[in-house]
Amino acid sequence: MAGRSPPRQQPDSHGSLVQEEEGPGGAGQRKKSCTRRKKGLIQERINRRGRKQARRHPAMKDPTRYRPESYPLIVEQAVTWGDMDAHGHVNNVVYFRYMENARVEFYRRIGKYEFEERTGITLVVKSTGCRYISSLSFPDRIAIGARVTEMNNEQILMQYIVVNAGTNQVAALGEATIVAVRVADNSKVPFPEELKARIRDLQPAAGT
């Protein structure tokens, strides 16, 4: 005589064994339960990955990162027709030119070009990146901010913000690691203390 199946032991989401009795439709119930557990585990992996990325990129958690007023230097300009691509919005590579415009003005404010002519030491971008947030198109006007957030003997970290001046919406966030190089032999040298002092004069809150 067929009876009810013996209770099964199934691991719960913490790895502990729990008894599960099979009744009418028991296989279907087990399948739904397993699906729910699987979804929960997948979501936990996604959450862990997100927390790990946030730890790896703590600047993205800095609320001042998204505030133009927290950048000591702002350059304003218009989006030109040639900045756009076939899709009718500013091409991704153009944002690096926008950030370069702000960086050049930052250099001018701290006397980098005079310093280079006098000492033979220039500043070079070692690495750069951009995080795109919202699109821009002709004939938008934009504001590009620049600030230094980290300085040490080897390099500085410069951050950028690109804002649609008409809507005040952040279009992109960028950053660049900048090092000092001797022009004569293209060799890397310690970041000049004189330029670090000038950066602090322009931006008292600059990192040390």
Instruction: Report the mean per-residue pLDDT for the chain.
Output: 82
CB 122 within 8 Å of CB 180? yes
CB 100 within 8 Å of CB 125? no
State yes or no: pLDDT of 202 exceeds 50. Answer: yes
State yes or no: pLDDT of 58 exceeds 50. Answer: no
**CATH class of domain segment(s) 63-202:** alpha beta
Q: For 69-113, how does the pLDDT look when each residue is reduced to its tens digit (9 = 90+)?
A: 999 999 999 999 999 999 999 999 999 999 999 999 999 999 999
DSSP helix/strand/coil, 99: helix
DSSP helix/strand/coil, 204: coil
Considering only CA atoms, which of 173, 171, 169, 174 is closest in space to residue 89?
171
- CB contact set of 92 (below 8 Å; sequence gap of 6+): 130, 132
For CA atoms 195, 197, 199, 202, the dihedral sign is: negative
Q: Can you say how many angstroms the Cα of residue 145 is from the centroid of all Cα atoms in its chain?
A: 15
With 0.85 as the threshold, say if the pTM is over it.
Answer: no
CB 73 within 8 Å of CB 145? yes
